[in-house]
Amino acid sequence: MSKLKVISEKSLTNNSRIVGLLAQLEKINTESTESDTARYVTSKILHLAQSQEKTRREMTAKGSTGMEVLLSTLENTKDLQTTLNILSILVELVSAGGGRRASFLVAKGGSQILLQLLMNASKESPLNEELMVQIHSILAKIGPKDKKFGVKARINGALNITLNLVKQNLQNPRLVLPCLQLLRVYSANSVNSVSLGKNGVVELLFKIIGPFSKKNSGLMKVALDTLAALLKSKTNARRAVDRGYVQVLLTIYVDWHRHDNRHRNMLIRKGILQSLKSVTNIKLGRKAFIDANGMKILYNTSQECLAVRTLDPLVNTSSLIMRKCFPKNRLPLPTIKSSFHFQLPVIPVTGPVAQLYSLPPEVDDVVDESDDNDDIDLEAENETENEDDVDQNFKNDDIETDINKLKPQQEPGRTIEELKMYEHLFPELVDDFQDYDLISKEPKPFVFEGKVRGPIVVPTAGEEASGNPGNLRKGIVRTNVSPKADESDKKPTCVDLAKEDTKDNDRTSQQQLGDQNRTISSAQGLNNDIVKALDRITLQNIPPQTAPGFTAGAKKDYSLPLTVLTCTKACPHMATCGNVLFESRTVQLGKLCCTGVETEDDEDTESTSSVEQASVEVSDGPTLHDSDLYIEIVKNTKSVPEYSEVAYPDYFGHIPPPFKEPILERPYGVQRTKIAQDIERLIHQSDIIDRVVYDLDNPNYAIPEEGDILKFNSKFESGNLRKVIQIRKNEYDLILNSDINSNHYHQWFYFEVSGMRLGVAYRFNIINCEKSNSQFNYGMQPLMYSVQEALNARPWWIRVGTDICYYKNHFSRSSVAAGGQKGKSYYTITFTVNFPHKDDVCYFAYHYPYTYSTLQMHLQKLESAHNPQQIYFRKDVLCETLSGNTCPLVTITAMPESNYYEHICQFRNRPYVFLSARVHPGETNASWVMKGTLEYLMSNNPTAQSLRESYIFKIVPMLNPDGVINGNHRCSLSGEDLNRQWQSPNPDLHPTIYHAKGLLQYLAAVKHLPLVYCDYHGHSRKKNVFMYGCSIKETVWHTNNNATSCDVVEDAGYRTLPKILSHIAPAFCMSSCSFVVEKSKESTARVVVWREIGVQRSYTMESTLCGCDQGKYKGLQIGTRELEEMGAKFCVGLLRLKRLTSPLEYNLPSGLLDFENDLIESNCKVTRYSPRRMQEVKCLLQFGEDSGIELELSI
């Protein structure tokens, strides 16, 4: 107690002392007493301020009058020592308190008083050096905190006072240092900067800045900082260029770089670079930099700094300057418009397409460098994933604030008479089911009634005839690989079915061969190595693999019979082999390597029989891929380029790999390394090959015949690669094609590569991307499909590539192409690949491809496999696209229990769920999610049956077929983003949107408003899966208008489905969801369906292209298995939503409800039903018995 009492008394004494001194000083001011007393009091206050933080804190505390007393004394005193004491007190207060105390001093009028003191002191002769040092020091500290400091200084004439002090005292570092610090603060005002430049401040600074010296390094540093600030003015920058200071700065930098061996003066070296950075913001500065050999100088010095991590700021700033000064070039293309042209039936009157059509030839290729060069700092190597996407950091000016516009207002748009055109697409609302057999309620096994799948045709190359390389062997050989007889009892049932169908295929193949052999020669030149390899390969059995995150021994039964087809594509280094596959239209398969299939090691071959016994259980359902059917569908698919080839992965199909693929950890310094290699092109131009090896714009380009040059191709459905230029021996620049009837939207790629060698690291640079950032900077990898790997029983897309980064390059778009923005740069995706096989054929893609023909194949297989007594399935044509392709519309629900009136009424009164996907062609992940949804809805799972009995699903699985077919990234053939046309779709230009909206309007007109609308999308700059919805309250809240948001009354049901998904779907992230309505999104499907149609639960569901950073899949890149799972989980979420929204109508047996509840809480554990459990669930569905059985669901 005594100790506490002493401390309290001491504190009271100190407080009383400073308060007393300030009161005494205030009394001196009012009574104008002797200066000796003021000098004594201020010295005491200075002593306390220097020794006690508590004193400094009390003097600047809220409500304290200490600062006013000091400033009043400073303003009125004539005594020099008193003035110096007060200035020293202010320096102590500001120095120790940081920005808050400086702001406090400004708020009390300190800057104006100090500027006036500077004016008065400058009139005295001789000048008091100590006074000038103190005034300039304190002004340099508080100036940045005063927004109007520059104007005040200019009005008071302080600029010239400080400048003249520097001119007259160049040999006095103690005085010049604070003066330069204050000049830097003055220069923050652009008018002041120009004024100082006219008075010779730039030339003055170059008298201080000089070569390496150990003396006055602090002064040198401040002078450079001041120069960098002054050169931000274009006037001063031009003056510096005119006087040759760019060359001087480079010379000084090299001198400091050479002599600063211990790197003690890094700040000085960085200051020189900052000055160069400022002066190169103008075009003249960049030209002077190039002329002074600045690129080579900074390149060489930065490479020498790479070994020292502490010099990274120098490397990064040098890299930024070099990137900025790299001469801007246009893309090496005849035009940046798409190389394909489609004549529109109607030319829009306004908009980007109208502008494109009205442009004179080649005007879009103009590159206009301006001085408004967007100066964006180089991304730090330890950068965090802080996206500039407005989805999370909303700009207030983009948020809709008009409450009247936010309130959903059902607008019919079209009359009921016009909407009657959609009646035929809703037969379920009028059908009485009198002609249907609805007696049997026994679920039909979910397998195909014909063959499990058609023969998979593997393209192979014919072998050159011995002694005559030019002798061609044409023909089709189909060799069915039958399972070994002694292993038949070890196969699952589905494999037995496959074997029976394989026999049928054998007979069919023999008949076909008989017909073909009468007209064409047999394929006697078939590569024996391939045949031998195929003899031991069945995709029913996957050899054990070792991969990151994969445990050896996990195998999968795929039941994929194999056949062989000769290569139909000419290989550049061999004679043409193959034949026309179809009489009506020539469709060719992508080329296969012509050197034979690389077989596995002998150990793998010998262990095949044992491997065939192992498998992992898969979900009950059909194999949706059928290669023969795919070819037939491709023949009827209409593309603008009239593709005649089929990519091998699309033909053969994709199976998810049996291992997880982690998000790639980005190597330190990879971006600046790649940029440095790009800069080498300018410095060492003689090392650049610059040879075109692929060109869509020039069909007659010469294919290089050298064996070590890669061959490229993209002439197949969904392919996108326009031009390839070989830069170095193993480095290639790739240029993507813009969307048809557009001059931009470059991001999606899908192309073929062949002719590679083993042990070679190939670098690919896709140089005309447009987005400002990408998940390629945060661990995403491109996808590769190897034909050799597929033939070795690994038919899957895998993530590949090292040294991946995404950065701004030196290619520039014209202001027309960039929407009026001058000097808009393109971006580069760069990645390095080591191929697993020599002379393989590989495919690269932005994301897992999913073509229009694949969708049509999947729908046909689902239709042929469903049980019509259990599942109501219809596939209609919504409309035709601009190029004449059909847009499918799918209806799925459960058949009514009977054709009795009550059951038909129950059937017709089911609420609708409307789903759509793939409005943006490059977002292929949306189609994989949709595939998961469709397969789940068509499955025999009891929850899927409950779901069908609860809803009628109307699904448009691909809203933009033309864009998908032709390899577009975002637009349809109209050159417009279809997801910005929902407000006023044009039936001639946007038929799929016009009629999809018509379906929704029809449902609203007949009082069947959908309970849920969801549009599946993909997101290129975020991780996880998440939703965007629509809420008035949350939109208003984001405008910071809390009073208005409190007045809004709104049903929060729009959050229910996302919340459910966050609990049951591992990839779903609730925290990434947003329900804000932005002005820029007012014409999207989500907002229009919410606002005009009146669907409260109107969503966009975004799936990452990269991976997840939370939940079960944290740290993993997303694959098709996870995407399809998300589609299935979405269905499960809808069932829970039904329970929550319609508990009275949801009369399912309690046992099944408990089962479904356990399912959601256990995150949908995947398993397989036993026959007994399947029968028990059937009983629950039929009779409503509460048996209390715990079941798990396979999805």
- Rounded Cα distance between 1046 and 115, Å, is 49
Please report, as a single letter, which amino acid is at residue 958: M
Q: Inter-axis angle of helices 1150-1161 and 1120-1141, to 10 degrees?
A: 140
- What CA–CA distance (Å, rounded) separates 500 from 510? 16
618-622-623 Cα angle (round to 5): 85
The enclosing H or E element of 798 equals strand 798-799
Extended beta strands in 730-775, E state: 731-735, 750-754, 761-769
Is residue 640 within 8 Å of 883, Cβ to Cβ?
yes
d(CA 1048, CA 1076): 14
Residue in 777, 778, 772 with CA at minimum distance from that of residue 827: 772
Judge whether 891 and 873 are in contact, CB under 8 Å: yes
Computed over its alpha carbons, how large is the radius of gyration of the chain?
37
Amino acid at 814: S
Residue whose C-alpha is closest to residue 1125's, from 1050, 1025, 984:
1025
Beta-carbon contacts of residue 25 (< 8 Å; ≥ 6 apart): 38, 41, 42, 45, 69, 70, 73
How many angstroms from the chain centroid is the CA of residue 999? 32
Q: Which of 694, 715, 701 is nearest to 634 (CA)?
A: 715
Give the type of residue at 38.
A
112: its two tokens? 């104006």
Q: Among 970, 976, 892, which Cα is nearest to 938's?
A: 892
Question: CA 835, 836, 841, 844 torsion: positive or negative?
Answer: negative
Distance CA 628, CA 173 (A): 86
Chain centre distance of CA 339: 25
26, 923, 1034, 1102: the catalytic one is 1102
Please, what's the b/e burial string for 300-339 (b: 16 or more CB within 10 A of its CB; e: otherwise)?
ebbeebeeeeebbebbbbbbbbbbbbbebebbebebbbbb
Residue that is written with structure tokens 């798990």 in the block: 1192
**Phi-psi map region of 975: left, alpha, beta (phi>0 left; psi -120 to 50 alpha):** left
Cis bond upstream, residue 1058 (ω within 30): no
1153: exposed, middle or buried (Cβ count in 10 Å: 0-12, 13-18, 19+)? middle
CA-CA distance, 476 to 509, in Å (whole number)? Answer: 10
**Residue 1102 among the catalytic residues:** yes
Rounded Cα distance, 895 and 433, in Å: 9
| Strands 731-735 and 588-589, bridge-based pairing | unpaired
- Asked whether 345 and 988 are in contact (CB, 8 A), the reply is yes
* Token pair 């949107």 in the structure block, residue: 993
Residue in 1013, 883, 879 with CA at minimum distance from that of residue 959: 879
At 877, which helix (H) or strand (E)? strand 871-880
H or E element at residue 98: helix 80-107
Collect all residues with Cβ–Cβ distance below 8 Å to 1088 and sequence separation of at least 6: 982, 983, 997, 1082
Cα dihedral 227→233→239→241 (10° resolution): 80
Query: Can you read off the two tokens belonging to residue 46?
Result: 């200075």
List the catalytic residues: 1102
